Structure 1
Amino acid sequence: MNIKQPDWEAIERAYRAGALSIRTIAERNGISDTAIRKKAKAAGWERDLSEQVRKEVRNKLVRGEVREDQCANPERDAEIIEEAAEEGATVVRSHRRDIRKATNLANLLMDDLLNTIQRREEIEDEIERETAGDESGFRRSSMLAAVALPSNAKTLFQLSSAMKNLQVLERTAFGLDEKEKSADADELSSLIDELSKDA
């Protein structure tokens, strides 16, 4: 029985790109992370391209070009950077779409709340008419509570919190508040692993 040999070239590219954790690379290739660490040590691989990958992700998002002059082996490194950056850019674009959808939904809910508040008296009168024949006042009180000021205030607070979170996410996804800072490969790997879990 033949045992499938690991694709060490693909593993090297993923390892050096620094976009995925070593554990994730191992899982995708059906080997242990210890085996990858041993091979990397023996072959002298370094996770030295994570900063270039992050820059290329940003460049892809604004249609820029990678600076190959920072690479030790421009052709090989550029290929690794391109592959990892494409994956990162795809994740960010997907998150941008999701954030836009959630923002649109929150805006619709805010409009609905405004409409309810503006028509509260009319809605309360309709509830009184609808429940006039009820023997129990439970249905009436439940319906009135749903449009009452405390309920509306709670809904407004929840929507405001959601909007605040969505605005932070949107500004982050579009790089509006991003400050240039260096991060080591493990930080970048952890970030992209988290994004991959959410995607």
Structure 2
Amino acid sequence: MTTKQTDWEAIERAFRAGALSIRTIADRHGVSDTAIRKRAKAGGWERDLSEQVRKEVRNKLVRGEVRDDQPANPEDDAGIIEEAAQEGVTVVRSHRRDIRKATNLADLLMDDLLLTIRKREEIEDAIEDETREDKNGMRRATMLAAVALPSNAKTLFQLSSAMKNLQILERQAFGLDDKDTPTNSDELSKLMDELSKEA
């Protein structure tokens, strides 16, 4: 059994691109982050290409075309930027798909709320019929509270808030807002959790 040789050229490209943490690079290449830091210090590697990578990601997303990966020369900044930009394009496209899914879920929940509001009287009558023989009125009260106006208003507020957040995330994912607009990488997963609780 032969041991896999460490690809220090690929590690240097990833390090210089600055898009991934040193720990992530270490995990991907099966070396310690300390070894990478020592090698970077000895080789004079600098993590100064991240802004150029972000620009190239935006350019690729705007153009809508992705070139095939080309092997990059460690000394060639353009190659390093291209490789890291490709990774960034993959991440942003994944975020766009997630935002689209979350928007579709919010739309379904909004439709469900509208149907509940339109048919509230029928639903309340059905609840009355269903709970008529209950000895305890708790189940009826809980079911009626779920379709009552205050409950619907609360749900509408939550859905409106979710839609607003999704619109902000979508504008960011498509680069429609100012560069200075703050982003929060956990916001989408938090929003998805909130929406799934409502479903």
TM-score grouping bracket, smaller chain normalisation = 0.7 to 0.9
C-alpha change, 1:180 and 1:60, in structure 2 (3 Å) is: farther
Provide the C-alpha distance between the structure 2 equivalents of 1:31 and 1:75, rounded to a whole number of angstroms.
22
1:63 matched to which residue of 2? 63
Describe the SS at the equivalent of 2:134.
Answer: coil
C-alpha change, 1:136 and 1:91, in structure 2 (3 Å) is: same
Q: How far did 1:93 drift? A: 0.4
The structure whose RCO (Cα within 8 Å, separation 6+) is larger is 1
Provide the C-alpha distance between the structure 1 equivalents of 2:116 and 2:63, rounded to a whole number of angstroms.
44
Contact 2:16 2:45 in 1 (8 A): yes
Q: How far did 1:133 drift? A: 2.6
Provide the C-alpha distance between the structure 2 equivalents of 1:120 and 1:3, rounded to a whole number of angstroms.
68
Provide the C-alpha distance between the structure 2 equivalents of 1:139 and 1:42, rounded to a whole number of angstroms.
71
Provide the C-alpha distance between the structure 2 equivalents of 1:127 and 1:3, rounded to a whole number of angstroms.
68
* TM-score, normalised relative to structure 1: 0.79
1:29 matched to which residue of 2? 29
Tell me the amino acid that sits aligned with residue 172 of structure 2: T
Provide the C-alpha distance between the structure 2 equivalents of 1:180 and 1:138, rounded to a whole number of angstroms.
52
Paired positions, count: 178
Matches within 5 A, 1:1-199: 4-63=4-63, 76-179=76-179
Q: List alignment gaps of at least 5 residues for structure 2.
A: 66-72, 190-199
Q: How far did 1:116 drift? A: 0.9
Q: List alignment gaps of at least 5 residues for structure 1.
A: 66-72, 182-190
C-alpha change, 1:133 and 1:2, in structure 2 (3 Å) is: closer
Provide the C-alpha distance between the structure 2 equivalents of 1:39 and 1:20, rounded to a whole number of angstroms.
17
Provide the C-alpha distance between the structure 2 equivalents of 1:6 and 1:75, rounded to a whole number of angstroms.
18
Tell me the amino acid that sits aligned with residue 104 of structure 2: N
Provide the C-alpha distance between the structure 2 equivalents of 1:60 and 1:104, rounded to a whole number of angstroms.
26
Describe the SS at the equivalent of 2:25.
Answer: helix
Q: How far did 1:122 drift? A: 2.0
Describe the SS at the equivalent of 1:130.
Answer: helix
State the superposition RMSD in angstroms: 2.7
Provide the C-alpha distance between the structure 1 equivalents of 2:174 and 2:39, rounded to a whole number of angstroms.
37
* TM-score, normalised relative to structure 2: 0.79
Provide the C-alpha distance between the structure 2 equivalents of 1:146 and 1:177, rounded to a whole number of angstroms.
38
C-alpha change, 1:180 and 1:76, in structure 2 (3 Å) is: farther
